[in-house]
């Protein structure tokens, strides 16, 4: 029996197929590797066919023997399919290199479909020698019927193509529709766009409806997001004073961006209220809730510190003050009211607050004044009555880092008083500020009467340290837990571990 010659194209084709299959099984399953194998196999197959005088893009002559015609048909079919696979792989790799594979999913599927349809028509024409024009004309009737049956689906498909080409949004963007539906884009496909809303539910919107809707992309052109807060205050002070208070509110916020600068606008004035609108930007949409909560809290604290009352809601009946309220003003001192407003001293009795308030010293600082230098130990606990204080730090490399901003009701200097530690940053007046100072010996007397306050002070100090944990080399307090800090406070003030006495 005569063995097949290596010069025979059928033998060469079989050998090439065996090599391709073995190589595919032993190589890593990666897209780039698969693409390289497809290119190598396509080039080798093209060289084999051309070397043997076989043209894949022309029909085989009918005079060929049956087994050779079968071989030619199989070889041409594989050539067209491998060529189509190579083109599709190149499209997908291009989108991966662009680092936007999910956003371009619909476009790449469309291109892949066009490539495979073209390869199929070529196989029909050059392998089976069927006139493609006649086939297309015959299938036109079926295409019309199919198009009418799938009218809504086709509308979604072409709308999806238009949305992907226009790119009004991308995967990961947060969009809001005119109907009020909003969410984060997690997927776009042939039929619909999938959104993940604020309650972590999946919202599926047909592409045809999305293409017609007016939408707002909250993630474009960047991740920062603007927020607006409206406030109504009683007209007991001039609008300029109210505007200045609200600017102080925005200055004291830790959540909002400093650039672009936040703004305050007086939007209305009548006999019942002054209407103010605060506008600012935050780093991302996810911080909206925490930023608004902080600003509302700061509005309340600064208004309380300035003695400006909030107005009743628009349209609500104005409740007149009683004669008793007018005849009997608050007889307590400012220091007493400040202690009463700080949760840390909420466990003190009124008499204890009176004693502590009598020992407090009122101090004022002009804007820009350094109250405590970085690395110094504060000799007393400072309670902020009004204004804004900033704590910033310069590290060993000379880089400036802002640690915190304090508003009325906050306190500082607790490191030096409570645990004999240095301040991690410079404490500076950002506006004109009024503080009340509690000396260490007066605080010691309160702690001896109320040992449980050491635990609360330890928790407060640990929370503040936790907010600054991104700093390197935060001194001996870095990594301290509330119970450890409370133990240091008890040791420094020689307190017993137990309940209040």
Q: What is the pLDDT of residues 379-432, one digit of tens each?
A: 888 899 999 999 998 877 778 888 889 999 888 888 887 777 888 889 999 999
Angle ∠(430,433,435) on CA atoms, nearest 5: 130
Asked whether residue 189 falls in the same domain as residue 125, the answer is no
Query: What percentage of the chain carries pLDDT values higher than 90?
Result: 21
Structural domains of the chain, count = 4
Please write the tens of the pLDDT for every residue from 186-212.
988 778 889 998 788 899 988 888 888
120 in the same domain as 48 = yes
What CATH number does residue 280 fall under? 3.30.70.100
Q: Is residue 120 a part of any domain in this protein?
A: yes
pLDDT number for residue 468: 58
CB atoms within 10 A of CB 356: 19
pTM above 0.75, yes or no: no
Check whether residue 347 and residue 239 sit in a common domain: no
346 and 487 within one domain? yes
Rounded to whole angstroms, how far apart are CA atoms 343 and 351?
A: 17
Same domain, 381 and 489: yes
Say whether both 175 and 43 belong to one domain.
no
Say if residue 176 is in the same domain as residue 128: no
Q: Quick check: is 335 in a domain?
A: no
Last residue in a domain, options 149, 178, 199 = 149
What average pLDDT does the segment 167-187 reach? 86
Residue 83 lies in a domain: yes
Q: What is the DSSP string of 310-324?
A: BPPPTTSPP-PPPHH
How far apart CA 168 and CA 150 sit, in angstroms, is 26
Q: Residues 13, 81: one domain?
A: yes
pLDDT score at 426: 92
Tell me the per-residue pLDDT of 295-335, one tens digit each, with 9 for 90 and over.
999 999 999 888 899 998 877 666 555 444 444 445 668 88
Q: Is 149 helix (H, G, I), strand (E, B) or coil?
A: helix
Cα torsion angle, 471, 472, 476, 479, sign: positive
Is residue 500 pLDDT above 50, yes or no?
A: no
DSSP string, 245-307: HHHHHHHT-SSB-SSSPPEEEEEEE-SS-EEEEEEEEES-GGGHHHHHHHHHHHHHHHHHHHT
Q: What is the CATH number of the domain that holds 173?
A: 2.30.30.60
Of 250, 283, 306, the residue at which a domain comes to its end is 306
Query: Under 8 Å CB-to-CB from 283, ≥6 apart: which residues?
Result: 223, 224, 257
Distance CA 185, CA 174 (A): 6
Task: Name the residue range of residue 268's domain.
Answer: 225-306
Whether 393 is covered by a domain: the verdict is yes
In a domain, 433, yes or no: yes
Average confidence (pLDDT) over 458-479: 57
* Shared-domain flag, residues 18 and 140: yes
Residue pair 245/235 in contact by the 8 Å Cβ criterion:
no
Shared-domain flag, residues 200 and 269? no
Q: What is the separation of C-alpha 467 from the centre of its chain, rounded to a whole number of angstroms?
A: 19
Whichever domain contains 488, its CATH number is 2.60.120.10
Beta bridge pairs of residue 276 = 231, 266
- pLDDT value of position 327: 42
Residue 356 lies in a domain: yes
Asked if 349 and 430 sit in the same domain, the reply is: yes
Which are the contacts of 355, defined by CB distance < 8 A and separation ≥ 6?
A: none
Residue at 161 is within a domain = no
Grouping H, G, I as helix, E, B as strand and the rest as coil, residue 74 is helix
């Amino acid at each position: 029996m005569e063995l097949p010659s290596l010069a025979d194209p059928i033998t060469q084709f079989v050998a090439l197929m065996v090599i391709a299959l073995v190589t595919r099984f032993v190589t890593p399953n990666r897209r780039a590797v698969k693409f390289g194998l497809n290119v190598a196999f396509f080039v080798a197959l093209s060289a084999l066919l051309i070397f043997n005088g076989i043209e894949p893009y022309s029909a085989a002559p009918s005079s060929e023997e049956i087994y050779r015609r079968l071989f030619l048909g199989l070889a041409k079919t594989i050539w067209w399919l491998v060529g189509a696979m190579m083109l599709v792989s190149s499209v997908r790799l291009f989108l991966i290199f662009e680092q936007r594979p999910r956003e371009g999913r619909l476009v790449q599927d469309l291109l892949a479909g066009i490539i495979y349809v073209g390869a199929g028509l070529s196989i029909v024409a050059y392998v089976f020698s069927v006139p493609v024009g006649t086939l297309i004309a015959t299938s036109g009737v079926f295409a019309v019927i199919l198009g009418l049956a799938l009218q809504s689906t086709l509308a979604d498909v072409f709308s999806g193509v238009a949305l992907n080409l226009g790119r009004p949004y991308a995967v990961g963007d947060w969009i809001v529709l005119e109907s009020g539906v909003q969410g984060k884009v997690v997927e776009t496909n042939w039929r619909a766009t999938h959104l993940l809303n604020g309650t972590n539910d999946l919202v599926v919107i047909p592409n045809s409806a999305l293409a017609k809707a007016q939408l707002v992309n909250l993630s474009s052109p960047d991740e920062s997001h603007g927020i607006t807060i409206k406030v109504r205050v009683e007209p007991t002070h001039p609008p300029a004073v109210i505007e200045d208070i609200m600017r102080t509110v925005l200055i004291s916020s830790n959540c909002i961006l400093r650039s672009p600068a936040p703004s305050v606008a007086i939007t209305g004035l009548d006999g019942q209220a002054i209407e103010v609108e605060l506008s600012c930007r935050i780093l991302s949409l996810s911080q909206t809730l925490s930023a608004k909560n902080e600003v509302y809290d700061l509005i309340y604290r600064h208004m309380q510190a300035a003695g400006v009352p909030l107005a009743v809601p628009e349209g609500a009946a104005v409740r007149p003050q009683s004669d008793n309220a007018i005849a009997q003003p608050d007889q307590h001192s400012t220091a007493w009211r400040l202690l009463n407003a700080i949760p840390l001293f909420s466990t003190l009795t009124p008499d204890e607050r009176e004693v502590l308030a009598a020992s407090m010293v009122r101090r004022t600082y002009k804007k820009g004044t350094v109250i405590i230098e970085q690395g110094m130990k504060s000799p007393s606990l400072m309670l902020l009555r009004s204004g804004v204080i900033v704590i910033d730090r310069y590290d060993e490399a000379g880089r400036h880092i802002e640690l915190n901003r304090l508003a009325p009701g906050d306190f500082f200097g607790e490191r030096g008083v409570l645990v004999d530690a240095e301040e991690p940053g410079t404490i500076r007046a950002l506006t004109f500020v009024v503080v009340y100072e509690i000396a260490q010996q007066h605080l010691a007397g309160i702690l001896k009467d109320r040992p449980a306050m050491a635990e609360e002070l330890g928790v407060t100090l640990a929370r503040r340290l936790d907010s600054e944990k991104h700093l390197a080399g935060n001194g001996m307090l870095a990594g301290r837990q509330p119970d450890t800090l409370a133990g240091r406070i008890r040791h420094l003030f020689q307190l017993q571990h137990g309940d209040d006495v």
